[in-house]
A and B are shown apart, each in its own frame.
Chain A
C-alpha cells in the first residue's frame, strides 16, 4: 500500500471519529439551545399577557390558540402570598432540573422575578387537527395576582422535535464530512505529487544505483529536512560503497597478480635445479613435489580471483550467445584429454541453443563442468553430455559421494578432502549459475553423477 494511501486512510478514520463525536455534541447543543429559546419565548409571552391584563385589555382579545387565561375568583390573596413564601424557601433558584415523576420543570425564579407567583414549565401532548396527530408541546403554567385578582395562565408552544433536530444536524455533519473527504483526496493527490516528489526521486536514485558506475547519483534538491538528511546519508553511503568496491576489486586483482611473480621465481629456480645432472631420485622427487605445490598455489590464486571477479559482477556483458557452440567447442577440447584418461565422451548437442550471458563465463561454466566430470571419474568410465533447449546435462561415472551433493558447490569442499583438486571448480560453476539465474542441480544414483543446469526460456 502506498504511503499516501495509508496516511489518507488514517486521516479518513480520524475525520470519521471527530465528525461522529462532533455530530453528537452538535445535536445536544442545538437541542438545548432550541429548548431554551422555546422557554424564553413562553416567558416573554407570559409577561406580555400579564401587561395586557394590567392594562385591562379584554381577556377574549388576549386569548389565542396557545394562551389560556382563567380568572380565579375564590383565592385569597393573603393566603396565596403566605403559600408562595413557603414555596420560595423550598425551591432553590439555581435548580432547574427535571422532576422525573411528573415531568414538570421548575424554571428558576429569576426568570419570572417580576411575578410574585411561581411559573411551572411542563411538556404536554396536544392533538393537532392540522397534522391529525398528537404533537409534543411545551407548556408554561402560572398563577398570577394581577390587580387584586388571580389569573391562571397557561401558554403552550410547539416543540421543535428531536427527530427534526437530529435530521438537520446529521445533514450538516454529513455534508461537512463529504467536503472534508473530498478535500482529503485532493490534498493527498497534491501531497503525493508535490511533497513526496523528492522521496520518489530518492527511491529512483537507490533503484538505479550501480556500485560499478563512476557516475554519482543525483540527490533531490529539497528543503524538507528529513529528505535532505536521507539524501546526504545516501550520498555518503553510495560513495563509500563505491570506494570500498573499487578497493576490494583492486586488492583481489593485485593480490592474485602479485602472487604469481614470486611463484614464477620459485618455479624457475626449481626448474633450473632440475637440470642438474647429479640429482638423485629422492632429490628429484622433492623438487617435483615442490613444483606441484607451487602450481597448485598459483591455480588457487587464479581461481579465487576469478570467483571474486564473478562476485564483483565484472562480467556483465549480457550478449546472446550460441550455447551449443560453446558446449561443442569445449567437448572437442576435452575429448582428447578424456581419451588420455581412457574415458569415453558421448555428446548429444541440440543446435542453436541461445542463451543470454557473458561469453567468457559461459565458456568457464562448461569447461569446469567437463573438467569436473573428467577429474572425478573412474577407470574406463564414461561421460555423457546432453544439451537440450532448456537444459544442459552432464552425466558421468564416479565414486559414490561421502558428502551431500549441495556441499560440492561450496568452496574447498571436496568428496575426498585429500585429493589433488582445488575444490573450487563447482563453486565457480555455482557462482556463474547464480549470477545468471540458472538453476543447477546435482544428482547421484550409485556410481552415476549428474549435473543439470536449467537454462532460461
Chain B
C-alpha cells in the first residue's frame, strides 16, 4: 500500500510513518500544498492522508486534485476541527473518511486499511490470519473454515485486532474504536476486558490459538 501523508507538522509525519512502516505500507510525505500537488500529479498512490490545514493553502484543494488525477485513490482527512466545524465539507467532496486530531495511530491504521479494502480490493475482501479468515464484506468469520458466530462488537474487535496485529492496543484505544466519541467521558475502560474475554473464549472454542496476549499495564496485543 502506497500512502501519501500530507501533514505540515513534521513530528506528526514521523509518528505516522514510524507506526505504519512496520507492515505493508510504503510512506511518502508532503509538508505543504506545493509538495502535495507535485506528488499527486507525478505518482500514483493507494491512499492519501490529508491534513486540511496546510500553511500554503486549504487542504481541500489537495482533495480536489486527488479526485481529479487519481479518482481511485482513497482519501482520509485528518483535521483538528471536529464534527461541529467542517467535517461534512471534506466528506461531501469525496473524502472516504475523517479523523479528528488527536487520534490513535492504531485507529488511523484501521481506518486506512478499511478504505483500502473498500477502494482497492473489491474482489478480495477476506483478511486471513493463520486459521482465522474474516470476510469484511458479509462480516463472516471462519476458523479452520468453520463459521463462527460473533456479536457485532466481537466482530469489530477481532477485525481491529487483526488489522493491528503485532501492535499493542490499550483498553482506551479499543473502547474508542468500538464506541467512538461516546465513551470519551468515562474514567475507566475496564469493561473492555469482558468483551475481550468473550472473544478469546469463542476463538479458542473453535480451535484457534490464543492470539490475544495480555500486556500487563499496557493492554492487549494480537500476535502469534
Whether A and B are associated in the same complex: the answer reads yes
The docked-state distance in angstroms from the alpha carbon of A272 to that of B109 is 13
Point out which of A274, A302, A334 has the most chain B C-beta atoms below 10 A from its C-beta: A274
- Give the contacting residue for B218; candidates A288, A340, A422; CB below 8 A: A288
Asked if residues B185 and A371 are in contact (CB atoms below 8 Å), the reply is: yes
Q: Which residues of B contact A196 (CB under 8 A)?
A: none
Asked if residues A309 and B84 are in contact (CB atoms below 8 Å), the reply is: yes
Number of A-B contacts defined by CB within 8 Å: 106
Q: Which residues of B contact A264 (CB under 8 A)?
A: 9, 12, 15, 101-103
Asked if residues A375 and B186 are in contact (CB atoms below 8 Å), the reply is: yes
Asked if residues A260 and B84 are in contact (CB atoms below 8 Å), the reply is: no
Q: In this assembly, does B110 line the interface, its C-beta being within 8 Å of a C-beta of chain A?
A: no
Q: Which residues of B contact A340 (CB under 8 A)?
A: 191, 194
Asked if residues A295 and B185 are in contact (CB atoms below 8 Å), the reply is: no
Q: In this assembly, does A451 line the interface, its C-beta being within 8 Å of a C-beta of chain B?
A: no
Q: In this assembly, does A96 line the interface, its C-beta being within 8 Å of a C-beta of chain B?
A: no
User: B166: nearest residue on chain A (CB-CB)?
Assistant: A275
- Give the contacting residue for A257; candidates B16, B81, B103; CB below 8 A: B81
The docked-state distance in angstroms from the alpha carbon of A292 to that of B81 is 21
Asked if residues B170 and A288 are in contact (CB atoms below 8 Å), the reply is: yes
Asked if residues B101 and A291 are in contact (CB atoms below 8 Å), the reply is: no
- Give the contacting residue for B168; candidates A258, A263, A274, A337; CB below 8 A: A274
Asked if residues B185 and A425 are in contact (CB atoms below 8 Å), the reply is: yes
Q: In this assembly, does A269 line the interface, its C-beta being within 8 Å of a C-beta of chain B?
A: yes
Q: In this assembly, does B118 line the interface, its C-beta being within 8 Å of a C-beta of chain A?
A: no
Tally of B interface residues using CB under 8 Å: 39
Binds B, one of A101-109, A163-171, A277-285, A380-388: A277-285
Asked if residues B170 and A306 are in contact (CB atoms below 8 Å), the reply is: no
The docked-state distance in angstroms from the alpha carbon of A421 to that of B186 is 8
User: A258: nearest residue on chain B (CB-CB)?
Assistant: B80
Q: In this assembly, does A341 line the interface, its C-beta being within 8 Å of a C-beta of chain B?
A: yes
Q: In this assembly, does A265 line the interface, its C-beta being within 8 Å of a C-beta of chain B?
A: yes
The docked-state distance in angstroms from the alpha carbon of A274 to that of B11 is 17
Asked if residues B102 and A333 are in contact (CB atoms below 8 Å), the reply is: no
Asked if residues B102 and A263 are in contact (CB atoms below 8 Å), the reply is: yes
Contact with B along A84-107 (1 / 0, CB 8 A): 000000000000000000000000
Asked if residues A334 and B102 are in contact (CB atoms below 8 Å), the reply is: no
Q: In this assembly, does A420 line the interface, its C-beta being within 8 Å of a C-beta of chain B?
A: yes
Asked if residues B104 and A421 are in contact (CB atoms below 8 Å), the reply is: no
Q: In this assembly, does B216 line the interface, its C-beta being within 8 Å of a C-beta of chain A?
A: yes
Asked if residues B218 and A268 are in contact (CB atoms below 8 Å), the reply is: no
Assuming A260-B101, A264-B101, A287-B218, is B19 touching A272 (CB within 8 A)? yes
Point out which of A261, A264, A336, A419 has the most chain B C-beta atoms below 10 A from its C-beta: A264
Asked if residues A271 and B104 are in contact (CB atoms below 8 Å), the reply is: yes
Q: In this assembly, does A50 line the interface, its C-beta being within 8 Å of a C-beta of chain B?
A: no
Asked if residues B182 and A281 are in contact (CB atoms below 8 Å), the reply is: no
Contact with B along A168-195 (1 / 0, CB 8 A): 0000000000000000000000000000
The docked-state distance in angstroms from the alpha carbon of A309 to that of B85 is 10
The docked-state distance in angstroms from the alpha carbon of A374 to that of B194 is 19
Q: Which residues of A contact B80 (CB under 8 A)?
A: 256-258, 260-261
In the assembled complex, the CB of A76 is this many whole angstroms from the nearest CB of chain B, namely 128
Asked if residues A265 and B215 are in contact (CB atoms below 8 Å), the reply is: no
User: B11: nearest residue on chain A (CB-CB)?
Assistant: A265
Q: Report A's interface with B, CB cutoff 8 A.
A: 253, 256-258, 260-261, 263-269, 271-272, 274-275, 279, 281-282, 284-285, 287-288, 291-292, 294-295, 298-299, 302, 306, 309, 333-334, 336-337, 340-341, 360, 367, 371, 374-375, 419-422, 425
21 inter-chain pairs at a CB distance below 8 angstroms, sorted by A residue, are: A257-B53, A261-B9, A264-B103, A265-B11, A268-B12, A268-B15, A268-B102, A269-B15, A271-B106, A275-B168, A279-B218, A294-B102, A295-B102, A309-B84, A334-B182, A336-B179, A337-B186, A340-B194, A375-B185, A421-B185, A425-B185
Q: Which 6 A-B pairs rank lowest in CB-CB distance, beginning with the nearest?
A: A268-B15, A264-B102, A420-B187, A284-B217, A257-B80, A260-B80
